[in-house]
Amino acid sequence: MYVLGIETSCDETAASIVKNGNIILSNIVASSLKEHKKYGGIIPEVAFRMQLETIAGVADCAVKEAGIRLKDTDLITVTSGPGLLGSLLVGVSFAKAASFGLGVSLLGVNHLHSHIYAPFLGKIKARPPFIALVVSGGHTSLFYVKDFDKIESLGATSDDACGEAFDKVAKILRLGYPGGPLIERLSKRGDPKKIKFSCSGTKKPLDFSFSGIKTAVLYYVREHHGLRTMDYGLTCDIAASFQEAVINALIEKSLLACKLKDINTLVVGGGVAANRRLRERFYSAVENSSLNIYFPPKEFCLDNAAMVAGLGYRLFKKGYRAGLDLNVDLN
């Protein structure tokens, strides 16, 4: 069964053909990131204008690269939320028009749930139930995944998302945007034990908070750096110490969720899961335990449409369908 996935929740315009839920025949991602870099963050109007211009071409490219024809697809599945309103509308409207024109079934999927599905593209032994951690630019959440249509939220960030904290700290350190990969690169030359940063406590044990640590970095920079001249060695130490503290919080809460739910499978997805130090630390945290941990390949941590097509396939098999009244869902 061929599924066309469409993903336009943030700045990417992505389309993919996935066969039977895990065989990726094509995976096209067009990004307007270059346009946003000069502003130091995503500008929604810039994103959705680019998406409007590129969506048809990107979908066409995905179909051609898969070696099929558009009318061979059995299902069109699209990210219906959460995300940027205008961006989501471009994807959903395109998917509805294509579904209507071709007489092909339609399905909308939740963006965070598709990040959870990303490790299941390809061959993977894990299956539900499991605990999922989604760490992206817009969200940081822990889920109990009983099945792909029974996903219960266990906790989430009460302020900034994890990727957002990486982006803001990179801005404080004047590194550029997006901050995650830049902080990761500098951290390799820094000492993660040099500065004692830590993430704030939360009322609920499985929630997260990242705004306090971001402010702590700002004060540290003001005090030790001076805002005009930035010492390279110190910048690396700040980046490494910040990154380490964030990873500590993610590991601690994820392992706690596994313990509380008595689950020994943990899945991690979203843009921040591309971070190598994070992966290494998670692997060593579970080394001498019965816990198994799964990450998507790096390219599927970031926003892509293969995970949308894969999850859509699983839900379709369970009987889920959308009508032409499908709308975006910002929650």
Q: Specify the residue, 244 or 303, whose C-beta has the smaller distance to Zn ion.
A: 303
Asked whether the beta carbons of 5 and 74 are under 8 A apart, the reply is no
Sign, CA dihedral 189-42-62-71, equals: positive
Q: Specify the residue, 128 or 178, whose C-beta has the smaller distance to ligand KG4.
A: 178
- φ, ψ at 246 (rounded to 5°): -65, -45
Asked whether the beta carbons of 141 and 112 are under 8 A apart, the reply is yes
CB of 330 to Zn ion, least distance (A): 14
Asked whether the beta carbons of 231 and 185 are under 8 A apart, the reply is no
The β-bridge partners of 222 are none
CB of 275 to Zn ion, least distance (A): 14
CB of 171 to ligand KG4, least distance (A): 11
157 near Zn ion, rule: CB under 5 A: no
141 near Zn ion, rule: CB under 5 A: no
Non-local (6+) Cβ contacts of 324 within 8 A are 96, 99, 100, 106
Q: Specify the residue, 36 or 96, whose C-beta has the smaller distance to ligand KG4.
A: 36
CB of 55 to ligand KG4, least distance (A): 18
Task: Report 166-185 residues binding Zn ion (CB under 5 A).
Answer: none
Residues binding Zn ion: what is the number (CB under 5 A)? 2
Binding footprint of ligand KG4 on the chain (CB under 6 A): 10, 136-138, 163-164, 166-167, 178-181, 184, 270-272, 274-275, 302-303
Q: Return d(Cα 253, Cα 142) in angstroms, integer.
A: 8
- SS3 state of residue 199: coil
Q: Specify the residue, 40 or 181, whose C-beta has the smaller distance to ligand KG4.
A: 181
In the chain, what are the helix, strand and coil shares in percent, each to the nearest 5?
45, 20, 35
Pairing status of strand 2-7 against strand 140-147: unpaired
- SS3 state of residue 90: helix
Among the listed residues 13, 87, 136, 265, the single contact to Zn ion using CB under 5 A: 136
H-helix or E-strand spanning residue 144: strand 140-147
CB of 249 to ligand KG4, least distance (A): 14
Alpha-carbon dihedral 172, 173, 176, 181, rounded to 10 degrees: -110
Q: Specify the residue, 137 or 192, whose C-beta has the smaller distance to Zn ion.
A: 137
**Binder of residue 81, out of Zn ion, ligand KG4, none (CB less than 5 to 8 A by kind):** none
CA angle centred on 316, ends 311 and 320, rounded to 5°: 110
Q: Specify the residue, 184 or 303, whose C-beta has the smaller distance to Zn ion.
A: 303
**Binder of residue 128, out of ligand KG4, Zn ion, none (CB less than 5 to 8 A by kind):** none
Among the listed residues 164, 184, 237, 303, the single contact to Zn ion using CB under 5 A: 303
H-helix or E-strand spanning residue 81: strand 75-81
Q: Specify the residue, 268 or 285, whose C-beta has the smaller distance to ligand KG4.
A: 268
CB of 167 to ligand KG4, least distance (A): 5
Alpha-carbon dihedral 294, 300, 301, 302, rounded to 10 degrees: -170
The span of 43-51, 89-97, 239-247, 295-303 binding Zn ion (CB under 5 A) equals 295-303
Q: Specify the residue, 75 or 134, whose C-beta has the smaller distance to ligand KG4.
A: 134
CB of 12 to ligand KG4, least distance (A): 7
Contact set with Zn ion (CB under 5 A)? 136, 303
